[in-house]
Structure 1
Amino acid sequence: MYAHKALALAILVGSAVAKQCTNMTVPVDISARNGVFDIAIPQTNLDATTFTQNVTRQGQNFSDVALSGYATTSGTYNISAQFCVPSASNVTNPTVQVLTHGVGFDKTYWDISYNNFNYSYVDVTTDTYKYCTLSYDRLGIGNSSHGEPLNEIQAFLEVAALAELTTMLRNGTFPGINQTFSKVTHVGHSFGSAQTYALVSLYPTISDGIVLTGFSTNSSFSGYFFAGGAFVQANLNQPFRFGNASTSTIETVLDMYSLTDLVAGAGISAGLDYPNGYLTNTDATNNQYQFFFPGYFDPMLLLYSEVTKQPVTVGELLTQGGLAMANAYAGPVLVITGSNDLPFCGGDCLATGNASLPSIPAAVAMNFPNVPSNNFEAYIQPNTGHGINLHYNATGAYDVINNFLNAKV
């Protein structure tokens, strides 16, 4: 665990687009009831494969098998965040959207620099819909604090960090942001949606509206995602990024393979020094299987996604199922999932086997008994895989999300 009190601020002012953004590192004091798992941290790629085999074995909940008890984990952690505002706005009481990325990504999932930011959710949300946004690297990922990958960096500690960031925005104590937000909404993707779901379950009044992208409450197909990723040790898969290489070394490698222009503006960090137990998918073929729907994405964006991908801890993989609790939240809920989402729909979100259920994500409504029917919507984004923001029609999904929040919040 890296525990630091120092606050570092760096200003990045709309280099390629009109939005105004501030990059910052924010310390959070958090605590959570973590699981204690009595297994060895995978040390090799073969160990990582064994872990995947255990997690995906039918008839076995490996999280329960490995769990030996619970313990409180607490400390001061650094969260790397980007706060953005519209270039021009006449809104006197702005709403902020808190954006939580999923497995395989960092905060740049919401502000993809590829092709002059044409896939940027933040661009559309700030300058078209006049919202403020806060995107951040989840705890353990990217430029946020890393930590022990089994019993420290787990789902509920990350939810605690999300709750603390939200509280700071509401009470005006968020470092570097001279604004108190009376309305805070939350948008997640995949594991980030699961954390958003858990956030409002633990704190039912903390959000004025939630959007769960790449999500359903059906876990039947999660094994496809695990197995399809062919997870290996991140520090062996991309040693220049995930090992202890210098920035100059990774720049040399990017130049060698003519990738510098492709990832310009992506904010790739070198020498992140992830220990064993931080896993990633093997290569671009696995990346496609997990996140993309063939025929409906730019192949160069797949390469971009592979070059900029981020790992996941074994502790996160073991605790993500624990987030699907009964939910007392009563505010607006939008579930938006790609028609061909792999982990939550098995590749076909309309194949419900139930004539009265229009889509697999529509069943999420049953988990929100306090949400009126007119405040819940399940939308299926056509011709799209799990990574909604990575497809040709991504901006159509962005309009659906922001129009929903405009109408309901």
Structure 2
Amino acid sequence: MHVPFVLSLSLLAGSVTAKTCHNFTIPVNISSRNFVFNNIATPQTNLDTTTFVQNLTTQGRNLVADALTGYATVAGIYNISAQFCIPSGTNATLKNPTVQVLTHGVGFDKAYWDLPYNNYNYSYVDTAVDQYGYCTLAYDRLGIGRSSHGDPKNEIQLPLEVQALAAITRMLRNGTLPTVNHAFSKVIHVGHSYGALQSYALTAMYPDLSDGIVLTGYSTNGTFTGLFFAGANLQQANLNQPLRFGSASNYGVFKAFVDNFALVDLVTPLQMAPVESFNYVNGYMTNANANSQQYMFLQPGYFDPGILYYGEQTKQPVAIGELLSVGALPAMSTFKGPVLVFTGSTDLPFCGGDCLNTGTSAPSIPATARALFPNASVFEAYIQPNTGHGLNFHYNATAGYRYIQDFLMAQNLESMR
């Protein structure tokens, strides 16, 4: 028997002035049919990584086809790091709430949805939970952050990550998600960029698992992704930030060097000790620096420079297998619910920096995604002004959050209290 929802959520209650959140781990027992890319070596150095990107972005070359040697079933029990949030002070009246499942994109983890920068003024979760009364479940995608890592080439791929998302969704629907213990009748999927691709794939493969989807930082035009990854100047994550992305022992080596040469007074103000070491192996790659971070995600003049450096300090990598498997998407979705595509006006990877420059009669590049959803009850493509690919890092982020919630409310996907 499941613990009653009102009781289980009230146990999490803290402050009555803001959302109440709980961090926990979700074990998922999943399997998928993955690609086997044995005709390509996992990059071991930064030069290897550059060579990989050159091969990936060369005109007329299909690196995926060159690398592919077959398929294999990958299966196991993986741990997914999650944050579940509810409105505080209303636990007793939450009778049948709606939950939003938030899937982040490349370069981020689940904190993308609840940014602590500038006292949480950029928090999507704050808007969805505190202002509109939704519950939210944000999680680190498989292979990223505090979730289980794995072989970056043949294991951490889009097909396995979609199965993790499906498993989490089923738990929410049948009331078996650890800590939450409530069967949600309405589940909305909100994804950003690579997370949007996974949310799309989920609804194409399992259309009954979702009641509504929001695809942010997204279009069906993949023409410009080469610009995105070339501009990233990708490097091995454990070489780019060896103390944070490498083994915890790296800090021990660094500290011994500092102590031996009496440099502690020089480096202590820099707070070089990471909060945690993620221990990424070779094959997990990240953008080079703050300059590439801006090029990839931000529109000049419309962001706080401080959030750029926050993003660089808290960034997360991408696995080589994710880049090679990104094309493993169903060609069409039979999903019958409402769909919102929400993309920044100067999005780089999906619009080439100008989402309104279509060259056709289409109102925008993201609007062409309508063809993927022939059965959608509602389809809308909205272009957020003065915004790049990293939507949540811009000055007008909260206006965008409210637009999304208003869209959901208009489709009878409100949080029922």
Deviation, 1:245, is: 2.4
CA contact (8 A) 1:103 1:191 kept: yes
Aligned position for 2:77: 76
Cα distance change, pair 142–12 in 1 and its aligned pair in 2 (3 A) = farther
After superposition, give the CA deviation of every residue in 1:122-181 in whole Å (9 maximum; x if it has no partner). Answer: 011101000000000000000000010000000010000000000000000001113210
CA contact (8 A) 2:13 2:88 kept: no
* Separation (CA, whole Å) in 1 of partners of 2:240 and 2:147: 20
Aligned position for 2:285: 279
Counting aligned pairs with the same residue, the percent is 62
Aligned position for 1:263: none
Question: 2:310 aligned with 1:307, yes or no?
Answer: no
Aligned position for 2:410: 407
Pairing partner for 1:365 from 367, 370, 374: 370
Aligned position for 1:294: 300
* Separation (CA, whole Å) in 2 of partners of 1:338 and 1:221: 15
Deviation, 1:325, is: 2.4
Larger Rg: 2
Return the letter of the residue paired with 1:123.
D
1:1-400 residue pairs with structure 2 within 5 A?
Answer: 18-38=18-38, 39-89=40-90, 90-245=93-248, 256-257=269-270, 269-323=275-329, 325-354=331-360, 356-372=361-377, 375-400=378-403
CA contact (8 A) 2:166 2:202 kept: yes
CA contact (8 A) 2:242 2:250 kept: no
* Separation (CA, whole Å) in 1 of partners of 2:394 and 2:303: 5
CA contact (8 A) 1:16 1:116 kept: no
SS at match of 1:322: coil
Deviation, 1:61, is: 1.8
SS at match of 1:397: helix
Deviation, 1:323, is: 2.0
SS at match of 2:69: strand
Cα distance change, pair 95–306 in 1 and its aligned pair in 2 (3 A) = same
Deviation, 1:344, is: 0.1
* Separation (CA, whole Å) in 1 of partners of 2:111 and 2:143: 15
Deviation, 1:62, is: 1.1
Cα distance change, pair 259–347 in 1 and its aligned pair in 2 (3 A) = farther
SS at match of 1:344: helix
CA contact (8 A) 1:34 1:154 kept: yes
* Separation (CA, whole Å) in 1 of partners of 2:353 and 2:370: 21
CA contact (8 A) 2:211 2:338 kept: yes
TM-score when normalising by structure 2: 0.89
Deviation, 1:370, is: 1.0
CA contact (8 A) 2:243 2:251 kept: no
Question: Aligned residues, how many?
Answer: 389
Cα distance change, pair 224–14 in 1 and its aligned pair in 2 (3 A) = farther
After superposition, give the CA deviation of every residue in 1:192-249 in whole Å (9 maximum; x if it has no partner). Answer: 0000000000001110000000000000101011100010000000011111127987
RMSD: 2.2
Return the letter of the residue paired with 2:109.
D
CA contact (8 A) 1:22 1:84 kept: yes
The runs of 5 or more residues in structure 2 that have no matched partner are 1-10, 256-263
SS at match of 1:212: strand
Deviation, 1:327, is: 1.2
* Separation (CA, whole Å) in 1 of partners of 2:109 and 2:16: 20
* Separation (CA, whole Å) in 2 of partners of 1:187 and 1:14: 26
* Separation (CA, whole Å) in 2 of partners of 1:124 and 1:62: 41
CA contact (8 A) 1:13 1:22 kept: no
* Separation (CA, whole Å) in 2 of partners of 1:88 and 1:55: 51
CA contact (8 A) 1:30 1:74 kept: yes
SS at match of 1:359: coil
After superposition, give the CA deviation of every residue in 1:48-90 in whole Å (9 maximum; x if it has no partner). Answer: 0010001101111211221111110000000000000001334
TM-score when normalising by structure 1: 0.91
* Separation (CA, whole Å) in 1 of partners of 2:115 and 2:133: 19
After superposition, give the CA deviation of every residue in 1:77-115 in whole Å (9 maximum; x if it has no partner). Answer: 000000000013344210000000000000000000010
The runs of 5 or more residues in structure 1 that have no matched partner are 1-10, 261-267
* Separation (CA, whole Å) in 2 of partners of 1:14 and 1:338: 35
Deviation, 1:405, is: 0.9
Moved more, 147-156 or 323-332: 323-332
